[in-house]
Structure 1
Amino acid sequence: MGCAAIIVASGSSQRMGFDKLAAPVRGMPVLAHTVNAFMAAKEITRVIVVCPEERFRLLDEVDCIKPLDRVDGGAQRQDSVANGISLLGPEDLIVAVHDGARPLVRPESIDECIAAARQFGAATLARALTETIKKADSEGFARYSVDRSGLWAMETPQVFRTSLLRCAYVSLAEKQLTVTDEVSAVEAMGISTKLVTSPFPNLKITVPADIHLAAALMS
């Protein structure tokens, strides 16, 4: 049962002021670290990177032990994922969608999510919230606590039976819905996703300081 990875790497990095996916971390671009993790995952059979052609060149030094393809991104994240899905063939029965800006993901975590998706149809790496959560007002003052029991922060990869994710994206287009991740896409169809505990740091590079933090976590 083939499993394809779709790595979403088409964002503009406006909040960073520079291309965060090209930023060097321990001698290698962020995006290359991400792709290498999927090359090393035992269950992944091919990798599709959704990105501009010039960003794809960041992967010239990646050891491509599995097929590596590229497709252009879309206006929104879900459009980029849909473009990746369009490259999947009948042999790609499972698909793992991952943020290109999460270079710390472990191959074993990827494989664990894939195993859960094979069993349940949908699975995602996630982290139970442990901090105190507050609801803020429009002026930025904390007003009351939110019960964090049962609350989880979604991470990636988010892994699905390909037929399920295809149906979810067709449904989004028909209903003209916008979602921020694939778990939300299948949720809109009434499908629940199995949460797989994220035991290792899986930082998403968002602000410049994250580059230094990622380098420290890799050491």
Structure 2
Amino acid sequence: MIKKHVSVIILAAGQGKRMMAKSNKQFFKIEDKPILAYTIQCFLEHAYIDDIILVINQNEEEIVKNEVLNKYFKKNNFKIAYGGKERYNSVYNGLKVLDENTDYVLIHDGARPLVNKEEISIVVDTLRERKACVVGVPVKNTYKLINEFKEIEYTPPREKLYSVMTPQAFHRDLIVKAYQIGIDECAHVTDDAMMVELFTDEKVLIVDGSYENIKITIPDDILTMKRIIEGRTRYKK
């Protein structure tokens, strides 16, 4: 099997307003370690990953370097790109600095620090057969489609609904093409799979992930992360 060059774009430029904090949520510390450091470590320790691009707030570059990279990952080199106004702008900036040898691109939220080895492996392995895939889990609740008056219009079949996560993984040429075509008309686009859905003819495959792969969005998520880490530690013992 020919080795593919796999690059990861980690998005760490968001401010996390729903956390009700003045600083970037990805610098919050769990067991004296920033959330962003947990995320980086997940990919850095995986045999499939060749290089990591961090998309950060330009004003936080010194903090990222001093409090995360130099402190926890001294012997590793990272590429840095700066975040844009919206998520899709940040991703596009990350795509622009990909290694010239990159074959596969993984795009991951920096605020998802509990992604596991199996999820990373399955998206890369899937790219050997498909050009695009995303991690997701079946929804547990019933969802309703409503109108502008909050009246229920439709109840989608639950078995057809997935909650989509990251990493989202693509052949390099596909995701670059999607962003080049759609970057100027994607104001309503919320993830990378949607860029591919809207601006290419490629179908995106869902691969099963873990419910533990949460996104740190609100204060309660910090408590959930702590419980998951404690559970994993006990399991290892």
Q: Output the TM-score relative to the length of structure 2.
A: 0.85
| Partner Cα distance (1:17, 1:185) in 2 | 30
Question: Is the 8 Å Cα contact of residues 9 and 101 (structure 1) preserved in structure 2?
Answer: yes
2:96 matches 1:86: yes
Question: Is the 8 Å Cα contact of residues 131 and 202 (structure 2) preserved in structure 1?
Answer: no
Equivalent position amino acid for 1:165 in 2: I
Cα offset for 1:42? Answer: 1.4
Alignment of 1:77-156 (within 5 A): 77-136=87-146, 138=148, 145-156=155-166
5+ long unaligned stretches in structure 1: none
What is the root-mean-square deviation of aligned Cα atoms in Å? Answer: 1.9
Moved beyond 2 Å, runs of 4+: 60-67, 134-146
Question: Is the 8 Å Cα contact of residues 56 and 70 (structure 1) preserved in structure 2?
Answer: no
5+ long unaligned stretches in structure 2: 231-237
Q: Which moved more, 1:145-154 or 1:188-197?
A: 145-154
What SS class does the counterpart of residue 118 from structure 1 fall into?
A: coil
Question: Is the 8 Å Cα contact of residues 94 and 118 (structure 1) preserved in structure 2?
Answer: no
Question: Is the 8 Å Cα contact of residues 113 and 158 (structure 1) preserved in structure 2?
Answer: yes
What SS class does the counterpart of residue 212 from structure 1 fall into?
A: helix
What SS class does the counterpart of residue 160 from structure 2 fall into?
A: coil
Question: Is the 8 Å Cα contact of residues 6 and 49 (structure 2) preserved in structure 1?
Answer: yes
- Relative to its length, the structure with more strand (as a share) is 1
- Relative to its length, the structure with more helix (as a share) is 2
Alignment of 1:139-178 (within 5 A): 145-173=155-183, 176-178=185-187
Question: Is the 8 Å Cα contact of residues 129 and 151 (structure 1) preserved in structure 2?
Answer: yes
Going from structure 1 to structure 2, the CA distance change for 1:184 and 1:55 (only over 3 Å counts) comes to: farther
How many residue pairs end up in the alignment?
218
Match of 2:82 in 1: 72
Match of 2:235 in 1: none
Match of 2:204 in 1: 193
| Partner Cα distance (1:122, 1:80) in 2 | 19
Q: Output the TM-score relative to the length of structure 1.
A: 0.92
2:215 matches 1:217: no
Going from structure 1 to structure 2, the CA distance change for 1:64 and 1:116 (only over 3 Å counts) comes to: farther
Question: Is the 8 Å Cα contact of residues 9 and 51 (structure 1) preserved in structure 2?
Answer: yes
Q: Percent identity?
A: 29
| Partner Cα distance (2:75, 2:137) in 1 | 30
2:15 matches 1:12: yes
Q: Which moved more, 1:141-150 or 1:33-42?
A: 141-150
**CA distances 1:90-109 after superposition (whole Å, capped 9, x unpaired):** 21111100000000001221
